[in-house]
Chains A and B, each alone.
Chain A
Amino acid sequence: MASPKKAAADKTNGSSPPEFTKEQELKALRDMLLIRRFEEKAGQLYGMGAIGGFCHLYIGQEAVVVGMQMALKQGDQVITGYRDHGHMLACGMDANGVMAELTGRRGGYSKGKGGSMHMFSMEKQFYGGHGIVGAQVSLGTGLAFANHYRGNDNVSVAYFGDGAANQGQVYESFNMAELWKLPVIYVIENNRYAMGTSVSRASAQQDFSKRGASFNIPGKQVDGMDVRAVKAAGDEAVAWCRAGKGPFILEMQTYRYRGHSMSDPAKYRTREEVEKVRHDQDPIEQVRNRLLAAKVSEADLKAIDAEVRDIVNASADFAQHDPEPDAAELWTDVYR
């Protein structure tokens, strides 16, 4: 088993990422905490039987979506695969609507018809939530195509994992994106395991930032546990895309603390490996420690904790008490 890469930022950039302002640190902390607490609650509700089917938690990877979102502007689009709760919260989607979709209730983003892996928000420009590994890469390229077609300066961000990075349509998309100079950022969330298969057992080229090399797409390896590094890389990629230079690949080196899904006993890695990453690299603890070092009071941080817990508890309450969809909903939304 490969040992955790502790100093990815140093290896790739040779220096620490640009500092955040205090406001940025606080926002990053709050948004990452919201995702973590939300996911912990979702795990609990799953254990209670309130959430069915598949449930893929994002715990450990929070810095990736929060840092990227800080680099985007209004109108930029986001699309991802099935591990999507964090992306939706980072996009500003309402926790109640996401949790109620997990419990299959009428107040869910998809009226209870989509579930954990299939949620969308036109308002927040979140295009799902896709259950077929790699499909979101072509779709995300299509979002960028639409921006290019309309002549606006929006970019799309297509997130996918180290596992999806081996799908054929990813490379079909890379080719078209570079050929047509489409403004799409491919964010490869390398959490080291495609379900139970480690990167070294599945990937001939383990440096995912080079996966676009034969299409001349620039790529960068990023310490995906450091939200500042993510934001800085996101800024660079966004600038590249908005300037009309075509797509950009960001390999986010990250880690998922929980199993692939709720039913994963995670026998493919040691408990020590997980504990070491949590201890050394946790994205939330990094921000919290920096804030404390900058003399932000424990009380201020506790206030953020409390606000986040209130949101999450309210969402769990809503999601368990909201009625199930009306039986008539079975037949709606098949056609427009």
Chain B
Amino acid sequence: MPIQVLMPALSPTMEKGNLAKWLKKEGETIKSGDVIAEIETDKATMEVEATDEGTLGKILIPEGTADVAVNTPIATILADGETAADLAKVPAAPAPSVAQEVAESRSPVGEGKPMISAPKATAAPQAVAEPDPEVPAGTAMVTQTIREALRDAMAEEMRRDKDVFVMGEEVAEYQGAYKVTQGLLQEFGAKRVIDTPITEHGFAGVGVGAAMTGLKPIVEFMTFNFAMQAIDQIINSAAKTLYMSGGQMGCSIVFRGPNGAAARVAAQHSQDYSSWYSNIPGLKVIAPFSAADYKGLLKAAIRDPNPVIFLENEVLYGHTGEVPKLDDYVIPIGKARIVRAGSHVTIISWSNGMTYALKAADELAKDGIEAEVIDLRTLRPMDTETIINSVKKTGRAVTVEEGWAQSGVGAEIAARIMEHAFDYLDAPVTRVSGKDVPMPYAANLEKLALPSAAEVVEAAKAVCYR
């Protein structure tokens, strides 16, 4: 039977890509290892090599097709002795793999755009977003991936201030391990876009030392998992020096990179550090969800005179959103945003937790429960006021986080609600969180370990006694 060539995934979190070019024509002989096509994402271009021998029977996805979902059949290869007539034996489309389901379950629903547009489109539910108070009415918007929004934020700040530079592993010549720093080397040169050796503890310290003299480093960790090697410099040197010096010597520095669970990379590469860093006085901690917030808050973080932990999310990098087309779009640190207004229950989350929160809000609406969804955006300083005002209105609260529940940010939110709005509560504050286990590798177990929209729905119904 003819062999199907499927759209490959270039990274653990890739969900779709563009079929840029076919390098073989129908009818051409193919040997194992031949490059047959080029595919690209916003992150990289890769060659597709044949793993089977035969003749290229039929090209199913023509070159130039955008947004081809991973695992979509893109061509068939005929084995020796087979002819075009055999092509009919190929099933129309394979059953979606488990991995694909996992990827889809993580696609954001809050930005009103279906993420997988071709060849099969899944309609994403629309969130009823509250207008962003930071954006003047009538502002033109540009659709960008979060990856691009981050890159633009850095580029704009580097143009504005020559003391801003980027350092980290693979940030320059490789253009970023996740392509967040794409193009920066070309614009700003090797002096300001600096590839470091694999030496997190050391380069974090170098960054802090440079910041103590007044420079404004952006230190990229390839992931925050690796920042555990550097956490002494982040906390003992960056966070505490202003206090220990009686206000003389500060440290304007941004530590940024992907945080939390990626996809199928197991325990050592999948941990949410939200609660770790938000525990530390002297640090500011930001963990945005939408592309606009990624941009506006990274710009604010770079300008902030304090050390800022900027927690990104690898799963979200490729997701798009509307970013205001303003010369200088800066969002104040420490302000939560009500992304969806509602009166029955408050759902509080941040970063990729918003994916579950917003999806759950849509589900709840079908059952007549109107959830108010708050995107914290900044974890320290935490916008307690926005949370409390909402809870005073709804009387019920559910927190959603990918990290572990014990000593987590959800636990902190619950404590603040009890301190400031105990008399308004009609039900105990409930937490939805990552399960209390190291992240497993197997796709089904990984899915179970993470929170889900269904769990958020269940928690919200429970606090509404429904």
* A interface list, Cβ under 8 A from B: 77, 79, 108-114, 118-122, 127-132, 135, 137-146, 149-150, 168-169, 172-173, 175-176, 179, 332-336
Are B206 and A128 in contact (CB-based, < 8 A)? Answer: no
If A120-B244, A129-B244, A173-B202 are given as contacts, then 16 extra A-B residue pairs at C-beta distance below 8 Å, sorted by A number, are: A108-B246, A109-B246, A110-B245, A114-B244, A114-B245, A127-B249, A132-B236, A138-B201, A139-B209, A139-B212, A139-B233, A141-B206, A144-B209, A176-B203, A333-B242, A333-B243
Are A143 and B247 in contact (CB-based, < 8 A)? Answer: no
Are A138 and B206 in contact (CB-based, < 8 A)? Answer: yes
Within the assembled complex, what's the spacing in Å between the Cα atoms of A333 and B247?
5
Q: Which residues between 194 and 250 of chain B lie within 8 Å of chain A, taking CB atoms? A: 196-197, 199, 201-215, 232-233, 236-237, 241-250
Within the assembled complex, what's the spacing in Å between the Cα atoms of A143 and B245?
17
Task: Name A332's closest neighbour in chain B (CB-CB).
Answer: B247
Q: Which of B209, B237, B246 contacts A110 (CB 8 A)?
A: B246
Are B201 and A122 in contact (CB-based, < 8 A)? Answer: no
Within the assembled complex, what's the spacing in Å between the Cα atoms of A268 and B187?
58
Within the assembled complex, what's the spacing in Å between the Cα atoms of A335 and B210?
18
Q: Report the interface size for chain B: residues with CB under 8 A from the other chain.
A: 39
Are A172 and B201 in contact (CB-based, < 8 A)? Answer: yes
Are B246 and A336 in contact (CB-based, < 8 A)? Answer: no
Task: Name B381's closest neighbour in chain A (CB-CB).
Answer: A335
Tell me if B145 is interfacial: C-beta within 8 Å of chain A.
Answer: no
Within the assembled complex, what's the spacing in Å between the Cα atoms of A130 and B284?
22
Tell me if B160 is interfacial: C-beta within 8 Å of chain A.
Answer: no
Q: How far is the CB of A74 from chain B (nearest CB, A)?
A: 15
> What B residues does A333 contact at CB under 8 A?
242-243, 245-247
Are B204 and A138 in contact (CB-based, < 8 A)? Answer: yes
Within the assembled complex, what's the spacing in Å between the Cα atoms of A140 and B323?
40
Task: Name B197's closest neighbour in chain A (CB-CB).
Answer: A175
Are B215 and A146 in contact (CB-based, < 8 A)? Answer: yes
> What B residues does A336 contact at CB under 8 A?
242, 247, 250, 305-306
Are A118 and B213 in contact (CB-based, < 8 A)? Answer: no
Are A176 and B206 in contact (CB-based, < 8 A)? Answer: yes
Are B197 and A120 in contact (CB-based, < 8 A)? Answer: no
Within the assembled complex, what's the spacing in Å between the Cα atoms of A146 and B210?
5
Within the assembled complex, what's the spacing in Å between the Cα atoms of A150 and B214?
11
> What A residues does B241 contact at CB under 8 A?
120, 128
Are B201 and A168 in contact (CB-based, < 8 A)? Answer: yes
Tell me if B281 is interfacial: C-beta within 8 Å of chain A.
Answer: yes
Q: Which of B197, B236, B248 contacts A179 (CB 8 A)?
A: B197
Q: List 25 A-B contacts (CB under 8 A).
A: A110-B245, A111-B246, A111-B247, A114-B245, A120-B248, A122-B249, A130-B237, A135-B205, A138-B203, A139-B206, A139-B212, A141-B206, A142-B206, A142-B211, A146-B210, A149-B165, A149-B191, A172-B197, A172-B201, A172-B202, A173-B202, A175-B197, A332-B247, A335-B284, A336-B242
- Given contacts A131-B236, A135-B232, A334-B282, whether A143 and B243 have CB atoms under 8 Å apart is no
Are B202 and A113 in contact (CB-based, < 8 A)? Answer: no
Task: Name A137's closest neighbour in chain B (CB-CB).
Answer: B205
Q: Which of A120, A143, A179 contacts B209 (CB 8 A)?
A: A143
Q: How far is the CB of A106 from chain B (nearest CB, A)?
A: 9
> What B residues does A139 contact at CB under 8 A?
205-206, 208-209, 212, 233, 237
> What A residues does B284 contact at CB under 8 A?
335
> What A residues does B306 contact at CB under 8 A?
335-336
- Given contacts A132-B236, A334-B282, whether A142 and B209 have CB atoms under 8 Å apart is yes
Within the assembled complex, what's the spacing in Å between the Cα atoms of A176 and B167?
12
- Given contacts A132-B236, A135-B236, A336-B306, whether A118 and B208 have CB atoms under 8 Å apart is no
Q: Which of B208, B242, B244, B246 contacts A335 (CB 8 A)?
A: B242
Q: Which of B201, B213, B247, B248 contacts A146 (CB 8 A)?
A: B213
Q: Which of B204, B209, B250 contacts A140 (CB 8 A)?
A: B209
Q: How far is the CB of A100 from chain B (nearest CB, A)?
A: 11
> What A residues does B165 contact at CB under 8 A?
149
Task: Name A138's closest neighbour in chain B (CB-CB).
Answer: B205
> What B residues does A112 contact at CB under 8 A?
246
Are A334 and B248 in contact (CB-based, < 8 A)? Answer: no
Q: How far is the CB of A225 from chain B (nearest CB, A)?
A: 30
Q: How far is the CB of B421 from chain A (nearest CB, A)?
A: 25
Within the assembled complex, what's the spacing in Å between the Cα atoms of A145 and B214?
12
Are B245 and A145 in contact (CB-based, < 8 A)? Answer: no
Q: Which of A128, A142, A172, A332 contacts B210 (CB 8 A)?
A: A142
Q: Which of A108, A131, A168, A173 contacts B206 (CB 8 A)?
A: A173
Are A142 and B246 in contact (CB-based, < 8 A)? Answer: no
> What A residues does B244 contact at CB under 8 A?
110, 113-114, 118, 120, 128-129
Are B202 and A175 in contact (CB-based, < 8 A)? Answer: yes
Determine which residue in B202, B209, B237, B250 has the highest number of CB atoms from chain A within 10 A of its CB, and name it: B209
> What A residues does B210 contact at CB under 8 A?
142-143, 145-146, 149
Within the assembled complex, what's the spacing in Å between the Cα atoms of A149 and B165?
10
- Nearest 3 interchain pairs by C-beta: A142-B209, A138-B205, A172-B202
Are A141 and B199 in contact (CB-based, < 8 A)? Answer: no
> What B residues does A130 contact at CB under 8 A?
236-237
Q: How far is the CB of B146 from chain A (nearest CB, A)?
A: 27
- Given contacts A169-B202, A176-B199, whether A334 and B243 have CB atoms under 8 Å apart is yes
Are B246 and A113 in contact (CB-based, < 8 A)? Answer: yes
Within the assembled complex, what's the spacing in Å between the Cα atoms of A79 and B205?
13
Within the assembled complex, what's the spacing in Å between the Cα atoms of A173 and B329?
37
Task: Name B240's closest neighbour in chain A (CB-CB).
Answer: A118
